[in-house]
Amino acid sequence: MLQIQGISHWYGDRQVLDGVTFDIKPGRLTGFVGANGAGKTTTMRAILGLIHPTEGVTLLNGKPVTDQDRARFGYMPEERGLYPKMKVREQIIYFARLHGVEKAEAGRRTDELLEVVGLSERKDDLLESLSLGNQQRAQICVSLVHNPEFLILDEPFSGLDPVAVDAVLGVLREVADRGVPVLFSSHQLDVVERLSDDLVIIADGKIRATGTREELQRHHSRGLYRIGAQQLGWLEGMTDVELVASENGEQVIRIQLDPTLDDDAAEAAGAKRAQDVLREALAHGEVSVFQRELTPLVQIFREVR
């Protein structure tokens, strides 16, 4: 496991990271989400030892990460760093060899990856003749060709078409399923929502939320219910229930719960009070829908930033 602990960083007198702390677990895809300039790249660069953070440490299985450990990391930087005038296959093999992969194995692994990302037919073309999306596929092959033990990818999906996104998602899933911890940053919340096992949300250099997608959604959906009722005048008599949204003849309501309750206790308290709400609604007419409502990730992102 990689543990990022209390990383703070200043560029001159400007603080860009403030006590960044989170874990990247084996076999998990951890999505790193934050607005432009939130500090994702700086955090990744600190983990990789490309900058030395002013404060804080990254631990690998309990010990500070060494340069030797880092040689076993795979990294896809945001500013892509491939050679435009080199052929695709040749280039991926070259990077594998730089990581010490034996020649025949480098060739075999390169061909396998090119096939997975759908670039086999372009393997002997110069990198610069490829579209940006295809160059990115090549870059993903480079980050994976030495079978890294940890994988860190900065915006691996930006600029990819939906087919390529799916191909890359498949590769990352397969890598994680082999037990590799994977951290990837993305602005594309739909992709993050689909792919991440764990989520880390950063804003202004501070970690605002961490957890599994389910945990975060559960936490941010305390007391939320969807109701389809003919009229809602009766809600005014329930001072602990507020109307959050109305859409397509249905409403989202929030039952106010004691903020000191943990998520399990809040869920139980909410379910109990929901029964009163349902009874009240039924006393005033038909109820077509009554169910728990889950806050979408995009909404959570807005709430914590």
User: Taking CB under 6 A as the rule, does residue 206 contact ligand ATP?
Assistant: no
In 130-270, DSSP assigns E strands to 150-153, 182-186, 198-203, 206-212, 224-229, 241-247, 250-255
Site string for ligand ATP, 71-110 (x = CB under 6 A): -------x--------------------------------
Interface with ligand ATP (CB under 6 A), residue from 19, 27, 37, 81: 37
Amino acid at 252: V
The count of residues interacting with ligand ATP (CB under 6 A) is: 11
Question: 31 and 196 in contact (C-beta within 8 Å)?
Answer: yes
Give strand pairing partners of 252. 226, 245
User: Taking CB under 6 A as the rule, does residue 186 contact ligand ATP?
Assistant: no
The DSSP secondary structure of 10-58, one letter per residue, reads EETTEEEEEEEEEEE-TT-EEEEE--TTSSHHHHHHHHTTSS--SEEEE
Binding region for ligand ATP (CB under 6 A) out of 32-40, 119-127, 135-143, 214-222: 32-40
User: Taking CB under 6 A as the rule, does residue 39 contact ligand ATP?
Assistant: yes
Instruction: Return the residues of window 152-181 that contact ligand ATP according to CB under 6 A.
Output: none
Question: 294 and 217 in contact (C-beta within 8 Å)?
Answer: yes
Interface with ligand ATP (CB under 6 A), residue from 16, 96, 175, 297: 16
Instruction: Please say which residue, 151 or 241, places its beta carbon nearer to ligand ATP.
Output: 151
Instruction: Please say which residue, 155 or 198, places its beta carbon nearer to ligand ATP.
Output: 155
Residues near ligand ATP, by CB under 6 A: 11, 16, 34, 36-42, 78
